[in-house]
Protein backbone atom coordinates (compact mmCIF):
# COMPACT_ATOMS: atom_id res chain seq x y z
CA UNK A 1 0.00 0.00 0.00
CA UNK A 2 1.43 3.37 -0.99
CA UNK A 3 2.06 5.93 1.72
CA UNK A 4 -0.58 8.34 0.41
CA UNK A 5 -3.15 5.52 0.37
CA UNK A 6 -2.45 4.84 4.02
CA UNK A 7 -2.61 8.54 4.87
CA UNK A 8 -5.95 8.88 3.07
CA UNK A 9 -7.33 5.80 4.82
CA UNK A 10 -6.33 7.10 8.25
CA UNK A 11 -7.70 10.57 7.60
CA UNK A 12 -10.94 9.11 6.24
CA UNK A 13 -11.56 7.83 9.75
CA UNK A 14 -11.10 11.26 11.28
CA UNK A 15 -7.50 10.98 12.44
CA UNK A 16 -4.82 13.54 11.73
CA UNK A 17 -1.63 12.34 10.03
CA UNK A 18 1.67 13.55 8.73
CA UNK A 19 4.33 11.78 6.71
CA UNK A 20 7.95 12.14 7.74
CA UNK A 21 11.00 10.66 6.07
CA UNK A 22 13.83 9.56 8.34
CA UNK A 23 16.29 8.29 5.76
CA UNK A 24 18.50 11.38 6.13
CA UNK A 25 18.33 11.45 9.94
CA UNK A 26 20.88 9.88 12.23
CA UNK A 27 19.75 7.24 14.73
CA UNK A 28 19.39 9.70 17.62
CA UNK A 29 17.14 11.96 15.54
CA UNK A 30 15.01 8.97 14.50
CA UNK A 31 14.57 7.85 18.09
CA UNK A 32 13.78 11.39 19.22
CA UNK A 33 11.16 11.73 16.48
CA UNK A 34 9.40 8.49 17.43
CA UNK A 35 9.54 9.14 21.18
CA UNK A 36 8.36 12.72 20.66
CA UNK A 37 5.19 11.54 18.92
CA UNK A 38 4.60 8.88 21.57
CA UNK A 39 5.01 11.53 24.28
CA UNK A 40 2.22 13.49 22.56
CA UNK A 41 -0.04 10.37 22.61
CA UNK A 42 0.42 9.93 18.86
CA UNK A 43 1.08 6.34 17.74
CA UNK A 44 3.67 6.07 14.98
CA UNK A 45 3.10 3.96 11.88
CA UNK A 46 6.49 2.96 10.47
CA UNK A 47 7.29 1.68 7.01
CA UNK A 48 10.08 -0.81 7.57
CA UNK A 49 11.96 -3.59 5.87
CA UNK A 50 10.70 -6.75 7.55
CA UNK A 51 13.34 -9.27 8.52
CA UNK A 52 11.09 -10.94 11.10
CA UNK A 53 9.78 -14.06 9.42
CA UNK A 54 8.16 -15.29 12.65
CA UNK A 55 8.12 -14.34 16.29
CA UNK A 56 11.71 -14.56 17.60
CA UNK A 57 13.08 -15.35 14.14
CA UNK A 58 14.99 -12.62 12.31
CA UNK A 59 16.62 -12.98 8.90
CA UNK A 60 18.68 -9.85 8.15
CA UNK A 61 18.60 -10.21 4.36
CA UNK A 62 14.78 -10.39 4.27
CA UNK A 63 14.49 -6.78 5.41
CA UNK A 64 15.86 -5.63 2.04
CA UNK A 65 13.13 -7.42 0.09
CA UNK A 66 10.00 -7.40 2.25
CA UNK A 67 8.29 -4.08 2.94
CA UNK A 68 6.05 -3.91 5.98
CA UNK A 69 4.33 -1.53 8.40
CA UNK A 70 4.20 -1.67 12.17
CA UNK A 71 2.78 0.68 14.77
CA UNK A 72 4.75 2.00 17.74
CA UNK A 73 2.54 2.71 20.76
CA UNK A 74 4.99 3.23 23.59
CA UNK A 75 8.52 2.94 24.86
CA UNK A 76 10.59 2.36 27.96
CA UNK A 77 13.66 4.60 28.00
CA UNK A 78 15.34 2.70 30.85
CA UNK A 79 15.14 -0.62 28.97
CA UNK A 80 15.57 1.08 25.57
CA UNK A 81 12.62 -0.75 24.05
CA UNK A 82 9.55 0.12 22.02
CA UNK A 83 6.12 -1.47 22.40
CA UNK A 84 4.78 -2.19 18.95
CA UNK A 85 1.92 -3.88 17.17
CA UNK A 86 3.15 -6.03 14.31
CA UNK A 87 0.36 -7.69 12.32
CA UNK A 88 2.87 -10.06 10.72
CA UNK A 89 3.50 -11.93 13.97
CA UNK A 90 1.31 -14.77 15.12
CA UNK A 91 0.79 -15.68 18.75
CA UNK A 92 1.51 -13.58 21.80
CA UNK A 93 4.55 -12.04 23.38
CA UNK A 94 5.99 -14.29 26.10
CA UNK A 95 5.31 -11.93 28.99
CA UNK A 96 2.80 -9.19 29.63
CA UNK A 97 3.50 -5.86 27.95
CA UNK A 98 1.58 -2.60 28.43
CA UNK A 99 0.46 -2.23 24.81
CA UNK A 100 0.87 -3.91 21.43
CA UNK A 101 1.93 -7.47 20.70
CA UNK A 102 5.71 -7.20 20.51
CA UNK A 103 8.73 -5.53 22.04
CA UNK A 104 11.58 -4.26 19.88
CA UNK A 105 14.81 -2.79 21.19
CA UNK A 106 15.86 0.60 19.90
CA UNK A 107 18.62 -1.16 17.98
CA UNK A 108 16.23 -3.68 16.40
CA UNK A 109 13.87 -0.96 15.26
CA UNK A 110 16.66 1.12 13.76
CA UNK A 111 18.37 -1.79 12.04
Dihedrals phi, psi of 3, to nearest 5 degrees: -60, -35
* Separation of alpha carbons 94 and 111, rounded Å: 23
Residue 102 has pLDDT above 70, yes or no: yes
Average pLDDT over residues 77-86: 94
48-59 pLDDT, tens digit each: 765 555 656 655
* pLDDT over threshold 90, residue 14: no
Q: How many CB atoms lie within 10 A of CB 42?
A: 15
With contact defined as beta carbons under 8 Å apart, do 99 and 83 qualify? Answer: yes
Task: Calculate what percentage of the chain has a pLDDT beyond 90.
Answer: 32
Following DSSP, what letter does each residue of 21-58 receive, concatenated?
--TTS-HHHHHHHHHHHHHTT--EEEEEE--EEETTEE
Amino acid sequence: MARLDIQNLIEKHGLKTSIRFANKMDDRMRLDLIRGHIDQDEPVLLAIGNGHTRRDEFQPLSRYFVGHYLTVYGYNEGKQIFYVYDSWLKGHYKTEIPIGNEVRSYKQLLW
